A and B are shown apart, each in its own frame.
Chain A
Amino acid sequence: MRELDYPFDSEWILKKKRKIKKELLADTTKSYIEKRIAILGGSTTSDIKDILELFLLNDGIKPTFYESEYNKYYEDGMFDNPALVDFDPEIIYIHTSNRNIYDWPEVTDNNEQISQKLENEINKFTSLWNHLFDKYHCSIIQNNFEMPFYRLLGNQDACMLQGKLNFINRLNEKLYEYARNHENFYIHDINYEAASYGLEKWADPSFWHLYKYAMCVPAIPYTAHGVYKIIKSILGKNKKVLALDLDNTLWGGVIGDDGPENIEIGQETAIGQTYSEFQRYIKEQKNIGALLTVISKNDDEVAKKGLARPDSILKEGDFVSFKANWEPKGKNLVDEANELSLLPESFVLIDDNPAERENVSQTISGVQTPDIGQVEQYIQRIDQAGYFEVTKLSADDTKRNEMYAANAKRIQAQTSYSDYGEYLKSLEMVAEIEPFNDMYMSRIAQLTNKSNQFNLTTKRYTQAEIQEISEDDSYITLYGKLEDKFGDNGVVSVVIGKELENTLHIDLWLMSCRVLKRDLEYAMMDKLIRICSKKGIKIIIGYYYPTAKNSMVKEFYSLFGFEKTDEDAEGNTTWVKQIPEECEKMNKYIEVKEVK
């Protein structure tokens, strides 16, 4: 729903929340990931929960909530709580604020006393988080503390140890330290949100005293949006591509009319500087893993002259696909999606022209086409929307552009071979196919949540569930990591099988579309069959559950000689294979590395 995309009208969302929810749920074509989210609040959380639900539903996540009683976050989390155990949260969101700080420093306190108070506060939280991790094995999202709404010590409140502001800053640093040292622990930065919203309005005390809200009600959609961004990022639902227009988007002016020497970019004019700053921001997005492409109505040759200017921060080589032509933008976007083996819904179109945005959003569903405003607003509009919200900086993210550039090289290489097998051989592929191990748990969980196309059952798992399965002997698990002469693709395939009376039921089989048609699935099946043989498993049963997106693997099991034994009215199919005594390897092109 457009109205829930950033920049949104917060008052309107609050007013219409019931109607919006009804409308979202009325769309029966949408498929959802279901998530159990516990909100443990140090203040009222009712509207935060309601609005968070809207943002999540809008992005294909259907939450069920556990909500603690008002200000019972600590008791609910820390002590015996059958209701919460029963609820079995996958994500716990701790909504606390500076209203929950118990023991503030006094002006008469000496440094040691203040340090002790700081320790007491942080210990209370640390023990809560440790307990929650221990008990619920789930992800935790924790608010930091926002600045206080008054400063007893004025400007010096920030630096004197007796200042509340100083105390909060020190406390926050402790929170961040914990976050840096704990996987699955994420800071929700209400401190920044409050500043960005305007602390004076945010902290209006009447909302606390009347309703026990830690912030003013009109700010709630912003804070709920902040939590939503973290959740969708954890679940692997970030966008992947920024598809950028050129004229009046990456530079001022129209290059075809004005000529490359007259477009506005660089340090000469205020407008030029603003476009330069925007280009730098886009380059930074690339550095955190966003893929960049160009979609521009221009002659290819002319367009490239703009990026060839020495004062252009973005260069042609920064883009994994470059489409400057006179085709409709929607067509170019779909072509780029196909080239990159991504879905159009992974794209964000950045275009200054409302007509182009409208046209693309009308013709291709799921593409984000934000209203980026004027050039001086571009960065904030894109940044606040959080398309690429970082919850973890993995090597995979920072290397993603290289991976896709390597893919482009592969496609080039392919055209020089008439025989596909020869091409595969030339890639010098090496795979690592092994049971799940700790190093890859988060990547594996991420893949189960974001793979849609090459995914037989589309079952979603949290990292904690993946962990449990990997420790359970009745499961056979495999991840596949594929490298070739152009680069490392990382972990790209996941299989989970459950053993029951000498029969293996394949609960999950997925592969990233990054590595389609490289025969990795053959190497995975070889390995699976070998493990089954060793374990004395005689029969493998595979399942295919159709979704709107996974028709490419409808006949997957028939490739491996499975027999279809069942098909129901919804098109769910069951496939059976007897494991032969002697099994010939099907993979011919990938060298499978043995890991000790």
Chain B
Amino acid sequence: MSREEVLSKLQKIIRDVFDDEDIEVSEETVATDVDGWDSLAHITLIGTIEDEFDVKFAMKEVVNLKKVGNIIDLIMEQL
């Protein structure tokens, strides 16, 4: 899977979790860009990403996530 493909799948997941089909996501997107992406929604999102990509993030990886690009890095490492 290429970075672009991962990003596009991520966008689909984010739209699903926040129940909003208009969300546009890029590598630079951060939580505050998305309505409702608070610390609690973050938990659901991480869980869903792990589930959909069949990956598992370590704690220290999760705490260091700053933007969508970081999530893609983590996923790419494990694919």
Contact = CB atoms under 8 A, between A and B. Distances in A.
Given A18-B18, A22-B19, A209-B59, A218 B47 contact: yes
A217 B47 contact: yes
Nearest to B20: A18
Interface residues of B, number: 16
Contact of A47 (B18, B44, B63): B44
A208 to B, nearest CB: 10
Contacts of B44: 14-15, 17, 47, 217
B51 interface: yes
B25 interface: no
B40 A18 contact: no
Contacts of B43: 47, 210-211, 213, 217
A210 B17 contact: no
A14 B40 CA distance: 12
A17 B43 CA distance: 13
Interface string B28-49: 0000000000011001100110
B16 A16 contact: yes
Contacts of B16: 15-16, 19
A19 to B, nearest CB: 5
B62 interface: yes
A241 B40 CA distance: 40
A16 B40 CA distance: 14
Nearest to A15: B48
B10 to A, nearest CB: 13
A223 to B, nearest CB: 15
A11 interface: yes
A320 B63 CA distance: 59
Interface of B is mostly: helix
Interface in B44-79: 44, 47-48, 51, 58-59, 62-63
Contacts of A46: 40
A116 interface: no
A22 B47 CA distance: 22
A15 B46 CA distance: 10
Contacts of A18: 17-19
Interface of A is mostly: helix
Interface string A35-60: 00000000010110000000000000
A: contact size bracket: 10 to 19
A19 B13 CA distance: 13
Contacts of A16: 16, 19
A210 B60 CA distance: 9
Contacts of A209: 59
A11 B51 contact: yes
A560 B62 CA distance: 70
A262 interface: no
Contact of A11 (B39, B48, B58): B48
Given A19-B19, A22-B19, A46-B40, A14 B63 contact: no
Contacts of A206: 58-59, 62
B62 to A, nearest CB: 6
Nearest to A11: B51
Contacts of A14: 44, 47-48
Nearest to B63: A210
B47 A11 contact: yes
A47 B43 CA distance: 9
Contacts of B18: 18
Nearest to A205: B59
B40 A47 contact: yes
A47 B39 CA distance: 12
Nearest to A46: B40
A218 B47 CA distance: 8
A313 to B, nearest CB: 41
Contacts of A217: 43-44, 47
Contacts of B40: 44, 46-47, 211
A566 B13 CA distance: 55
Nearest to B57: A206
A298 B33 CA distance: 62
Interface in A208-228: 209-211, 213, 217-218
B3 to A, nearest CB: 23
30 contacts: A11-B48, A11-B51, A14-B44, A14-B47, A15-B16, A15-B17, A15-B44, A15-B48, A15-B51, A18-B17, A18-B19, A19-B19, A22-B19, A44-B40, A46-B40, A47-B40, A47-B43, A47-B44, A206-B58, A206-B59, A209-B59, A210-B43, A210-B59, A210-B62, A210-B63, A211-B39, A211-B40, A213-B43, A218-B47, A218-B51
Interface of B: 13, 16-19, 39-40, 43-44, 47-48, 51, 58-59, 62-63
Interface of A: 11, 14-19, 22, 44, 46-47, 206, 209-211, 213, 217-218
Which 10 pairs show the lowest CB-CB distances between chains A and B? A18-B19, A206-B59, A15-B48, A19-B19, A46-B40, A11-B51, A217-B47, A211-B43, A14-B44, A217-B43
Given A11-B48, A14-B47, A18-B17, 16 more contacts: A11-B47, A11-B51, A15-B48, A16-B16, A16-B19, A17-B44, A18-B18, A19-B16, A210-B43, A210-B59, A210-B62, A211-B40, A211-B43, A213-B43, A217-B43, A218-B47
